[in-house]
Amino acid sequence: MTTISGEAVNHPERMASRSPAPGEGRYRALVRLSRNDDVRRFVISVVGGLVLALITGPEGNGVQMLSGINGALLHPHVFICLAVTVGVWVLITVRHHFARQVEHVSGRVMALPKAVLPDRRVRAGLWLALFAFAIIYPPTLNSFWQNVLVEQIGIYVLLAIGLNVVVGYAGLLDLGYIAFFAIGAYSDAYWTGMLPVHPPLHLNPFWVFPLAILTAMLAGVLLGGPTLRLRGDYLAIVTLGFGEIIQIVANNLQGVTGGAQGVINIPHFSVHVAGIKYHWGLSNLPYYYLILGFIVLALLAYFSLEHSKVGRAWTAIREDEVAAEAAGINTLKYKVMAFAIGASTSGVAGVIVASQIGFVEPGDFTVQLSILILVLVIFGGMGSLAGAVVGAAVLQWLPQFLRVHPLFGYNQLDLYIYFGAILILMMIFRPEGLIPSRRRRREIVLAEHGVGSADAMESGHSGGGLAAVANPEADL
């Protein structure tokens, strides 16, 4: 409201000239209202809430699309959706009108972590606390949550850490990441002798890890070598295609992969050393600790990489490939390296999942999964290890929590609608992600201010040569 009244006071004649003819005076107020940004956003948020209520929750069917809310406009679900979208409207409006105050408050709130977090010891302490929590807490959970911890959280955290190397560090948009996961899973099935084709020797799943890592890496190099010469959108399309190819090959190459029925009876992990026999079976905890071990290994390794020559080279490539090449960086080599390292992580996750569930089918490796992992990375904060861990954990835990919670209990089919909504909100309020890396945050700030400063200089001085000569005092 403030904007419109302010404008009306300052430019009464302009307002008058924009409003409709005198005869339509009664529309005047309405038109004026519709020009108000706040009102417009409010209407959009209400409509958005209704649409959200319509496309989620109690469903209609093909014949009667609206039967879900037919005669049930007072269904609580409608109100929940409206409350959420209007809540967002309130947030946006407050941020818009009280920008300075909001900044003041949020500045104070953020001052504490900013003051404490740069301290290395504090950050190391936080990681250690998180690690200790991850070790001690799970045994106290019931088997449902332990299962969620392994299949929904642990595996996805590992996958997100791996994709973070590709997308976050090297800035390569990989939409076929799940293909390497499939390669890991099928490697496991192959080396344990469960595929129609038999391996030279049958291995315990533990011994499959190095082989699966190598296979996934090799696949990464083979795919990356020719395609990483492409940039941006082109690379995304090619990786998308690669993901599809792997899935279709797994589906159609019946004699090798077992086809659409999948592979069954992949053995669980087991230990037979010096008379000790330990079979993991279906219990969740051993798998959880195995995943935790790999997560910690990956975190340590990738943290070192990020702060090494390799990590700096990735940042350089992400920011300006031409300049990186001119500074002596073999850009293709480093891009392939990022691709292969990400692929190997995905391969490890594939082995763990295959041996835990004991069953692999092509339908497990959909594009949707690749995109889900990408969403986890973006949500957490690209290029940030803490972001990948916390982002993936939160975003994978939340739906499970809401699903079993009596108050929210939503329909599983609607999950991705909510994910989409969360991502949109994220892009509005915190585009750099939950826990952004410092480098990435800077890049986003630069992009918002249009790093155009350099370009502006170019257009500004492009006439300089002639201008200098046009001056008779110039030496020529």
The residues that touch another protein, with contacts defined as CB under 8 A, are 300-301, 304-305, 308-313, 315-316, 319-320, 322-331, 337, 341, 439-440, 442-443, 446, 451, 454-455, 457-458, 460-466, 468-470, 474-476
Question: Considering only CA atoms, which of 347, 441, 448, 424 is closest in space to residue 387?
Answer: 441
CB of 322 to another protein, least distance (A): 7
Provide the β-strand partners of residue 271. Answer: 278
Q: Residue holding tokens 């990489």?
A: 305
Select 74 or 476, whichever has its Cβ closest to another protein. 476
Select 13 or 473, whichever has its Cβ closest to another protein. 473
Select 200 or 328, whichever has its Cβ closest to another protein. 328
CB of 452 to another protein, least distance (A): 10
CB of 37 to another protein, least distance (A): 31
CB of 162 to another protein, least distance (A): 14
Select 244 or 325, whichever has its Cβ closest to another protein. 325
CB of 119 to another protein, least distance (A): 16
What tokens were used for 147?
């299962």
Backbone angles phi, psi at 325, to 5 degrees: -65, -40
Query: Within a 13 Å sphere around the CA of 331, how many CA atoms are in the beta-carbon half?
Result: 21
Select 135 or 300, whichever has its Cβ closest to another protein. 300
What tokens were used for 305?
């990489």
Is residue 199 left, alpha or beta, with left meaning phi > 0 and alpha meaning psi from -120 to 50? beta
What tokens were used for 390?
């916390």
Select 179 or 329, whichever has its Cβ closest to another protein. 329
What is the distance, to the nearest Å, from the Cα of residue 440 to the centroid of all Cα atoms in its chain?
A: 14
CB of 164 to another protein, least distance (A): 15
CB of 136 to another protein, least distance (A): 28
Question: Strands 270-273, 276-279: parallel, antiparallel or unpaired by DSSP?
Answer: antiparallel
Query: Residues 105, 106, 111, 116: what is their CA dihedral angle, to the nearest 10 degrees?
Result: 140
Backbone angles phi, psi at 387, to 5 degrees: -65, -45
Number of neighbours of residue 322 by Cβ within 10 angstroms: 8
Select 104 or 231, whichever has its Cβ closest to another protein. 231
